[in-house]
Structure 1
Amino acid sequence: MPSFTFIDLFAGIGGMRQAAEENGGTCVFSSEINREAAGTYEANFGERPYGDITKIDESDIPEHDVIFGGFPCQPFSICGFKRGFDDARGTLFFDILRIAKAKRPSCLVLENVKHFASHDRGNTLGVVVAALEEIGYSVSVEVINAVDFGLPQNRDRTIIVASRIGTFDFSKLVTSERLTVSSVLETEGPFEYVDPAEYTLLRDDIVKVQKQSGLRFVGYRNRNLRKVGVREGTEHLSRVHKQPNRIYCATAAHPTLAAGESSGRYWILVDGVVRKLTQRECYRLQGFPDSFKISASATAAYRQIGNSVPVPMIAEVVRAARAQGLITIPADTEALLAA
């Protein structure tokens, strides 16, 4: 298949670029406003992304076949205020739209949190779909989970594929056998273990696997129990413990890596002892290769990976879009669309 060109908007540390390049894509422009993330991006891809996309004129962006954009999810996330387009960050979708309208790429692949699809009773998604359709794109939307694409992380994301050539079929995605956290663990430390006096493990008869998510909640650090609405004797329930204190089992899937927590968030039970996931293990949970250069700042490293996309999941979307002929526009097709 011929190669394609793309631009990488709200690029973060380059998860979408990684997925696109694995499918033969060539990046011709990138943009990321966060300086630390841009530094990590530069260290790995050899170029510094442009800054604030709102200050970049669309005429200055090179021609391209695909727009990739994981536009800011905080306004739509269940972890945030879910203010959507009322939040200034929520309006950044319209910068994607103005670029698409000016450059008319064949395809857009956009990513956001699961709750983007249901935000404001679906009205927010409706605005996005209608806006893309108005400028000539056929739009498909689906919530898919990283755990179905070779990553042991329960990470649901709303994926939007818009094409001028045809309609993307999500049923053609090829899924993978589900893995466990054990598959991404490093074999050598140093590891950060937790003093057994500082956590409580649940009895075997209490521990249950949630079949759909694949998570196994096995214990908690002895702090910050949620008090409001919590009945006595429910300490064994994961929902009464704040997420940074929950302990999950390495022989199951891991919950969604989040960007808003401290670097002490990810605790797992491995061979009977509790420790924190290493930075490299977190990057493996998102599908980044071990050759990927991680920020020297631990806080930035954990935040950046929590903000990133699951690389194999996006790579499969790109592969399927190419297989369905929705990315590169042949000259004769372009002429028909322009007529």
Structure 2
Amino acid sequence: MYKSIDLFAGIGGIRLGFEQAFKDEIKTVFVSEWDNKAVETYKANFKCDKNIVGDITKVDEKEIPKHDILLAGFPCQAFSLAGRQKGFEDARGTLFFDVARIVKYHKPKVVFCENVKNLVNHDRGRTFRVIKNILDELGYQVFYKVLNSKDFGVPQNRERIYIVAFRSDIAPLSFDFPRSSGKQTLIKDIIEENVVSSKYYLSTTYLESLKRHKERHMAKGNGFGYEIRDNESIAGAIVCGGMGRERNLIVDKRLTDFKPVTHIKGEVNKEFIRKMTPREWARLQGFPEEFKFVVADTHLYKQFGNSVTVPVIKAIAKKIKMHLEKSQIV
């Protein structure tokens, strides 16, 4: 039985991928997540023997249970192209140092991290070199690769960097990241089976404002603005902000009742343009149908936009499990 800890856990996407790969051979012994709404979703979907810890910066590493695998989807805002790119100067960036102090004390067999693609380029590569050098100094062999979610059975163009660090005494000479699951899907494959509520359809007023916004940017030569995705195509990367929804609109002509169910300006648009639902976003990230929703849509969009693509995690975790079994250290 491998023991793991789940840091910056979000709604548990990394844990879920590892559990799918390791099945009943892995047990989570510690969880840390500070966002209360994410914790609600996490608790609804995972058995938590102990309380979920909030601020990891206030946790003494000696109080964390011993573990074999450290999972850390440490916050990416500090390194993202969309952020201010202050890296370790940004308080969020320094959270990697909390990962480092835990690794230094516990020496787990494997450290697994996920982050935005731009992590490798941030500050002309300095940020990533610091992360890699810290893991090297702590006695780990570091492997990393940028993978795209669209290659792993979900219709989403989402590139992320995945970092796998093995403790030096069990480190392989090389680590082959998975290339693809061999399964390809399109937006039409994740669309709700039944007609969705009119609340997901844009109001005429809102749609007109999006059109004007896009026209202004097009006049300036910019590519900003809303985007309607063809059902025979794939979605762009979903993100936690509003633009994540507006750049992944779809046309769904099944609606027959255009009566608003929420307070909106104008009417429900007759062009059949709507946002994807939270369940559709969950499918874009490869979450199973039985994954429970217990918070409002606003929080769900944020949670899935911030989460990971589960099938990618599962594919990497399978490779990690194979090497651990070869190393004969359990």
> TM class by shorter-chain length?
0.7 to 0.9
Q: If each structure's helix is expressed as a fraction of its own residues, which one has the higher value? A: 2
Q: What one-letter code is carried by the residue in structure 2 that aligns with 1:30?
A: V
Alignment of 1:164-175 (within 5 A): 164=167, 165-167=170-172, 169-175=175-181
Deviations along 1:189-222, whole A, 9 cap, x unmatched? Answer: 324334689769xxxxxxxxxxxxxxxxxxx941
In structure 2, the residue matched to 1:319 is 318
Matched, 1:142 2:162: no
In structure 1, the residue matched to 2:242 is 261
2:65 counterpart (45, 62, 79): 62
In structure 1, the residue matched to 2:37 is 36
Alignment of 1:127-276 (within 5 A): 127-164=130-167, 165-167=170-172, 169-191=175-197, 192-194=200-202, 221-225=210-214, 227=216, 230-231=218-219, 239-242=222-225, 245-261=226-242, 264-265=245-246, 266-270=248-252, 273-276=272-275
Q: 1:42 to 1:197 in 2, by over 3 A?
A: closer
How far does residue 274 in structure 1 lie from its aligned partner after superposition? 2.3
Matched, 1:293 2:292: yes
CA distance in 2, matches of 1:227, 1:87: 33
Unaligned residue ranges in structure 2 (runs of 5+)? 254-270
Unaligned residue ranges in structure 1 (runs of 5+)? 201-219, 332-339
Instruction: Report % sequence identity.
Output: 38
How far does residue 263 in structure 1 lie from its aligned partner after superposition? 8.0
Q: 1:73 to 1:198 in 2, by over 3 A?
A: closer
How far does residue 291 in structure 1 lie from its aligned partner after superposition? 1.0
TM-score by length of 2: 0.84
Matched, 1:21 2:19: yes
In structure 1, the residue matched to 2:81 is 78
How far does residue 323 in structure 1 lie from its aligned partner after superposition? 1.4
CA distance in 2, matches of 1:173, 1:324: 17
CA distance in 2, matches of 1:170, 1:149: 16
Equivalenced residues, count: 302
CA distance in 2, matches of 1:93, 1:11: 14
In structure 2, the residue matched to 1:123 is 126
Deviations along 1:27-77, whole A, 9 cap, x unmatched? Answer: 111000111111111111132421100011111111111000000001111
TM-score by length of 1: 0.82
Q: What one-letter code is carried by the residue in structure 2 that aligns with 1:107?
A: V
Q: CA RMSD in A?
A: 2.4
Q: Which moved more, 1:63-72 or 1:289-298?
A: 289-298
Q: 1:4, 1:328 within 8 Å by CA — same for their partners in 2?
A: no
How far does residue 273 in structure 1 lie from its aligned partner after superposition? 4.0
How far does residue 231 in structure 1 lie from its aligned partner after superposition? 4.1
Q: 1:39 to 1:327 in 2, by over 3 A?
A: farther
Q: 2:282, 2:304 within 8 Å by CA — same for their partners in 1?
A: yes
How far does residue 328 in structure 1 lie from its aligned partner after superposition? 7.2
Give SS of 2:236's match. coil
How far does residue 161 in structure 1 lie from its aligned partner after superposition? 0.4
How far does residue 247 in structure 1 lie from its aligned partner after superposition? 1.3
Deviations along 1:201-249, whole A, 9 cap, x unmatched? Answer: xxxxxxxxxxxxxxxxxxx941313746x547x6xxxx5332xx22111
CA distance in 1, matches of 2:100, 2:82: 26
Give SS of 2:242's match. coil
Matched, 1:88 2:71: no
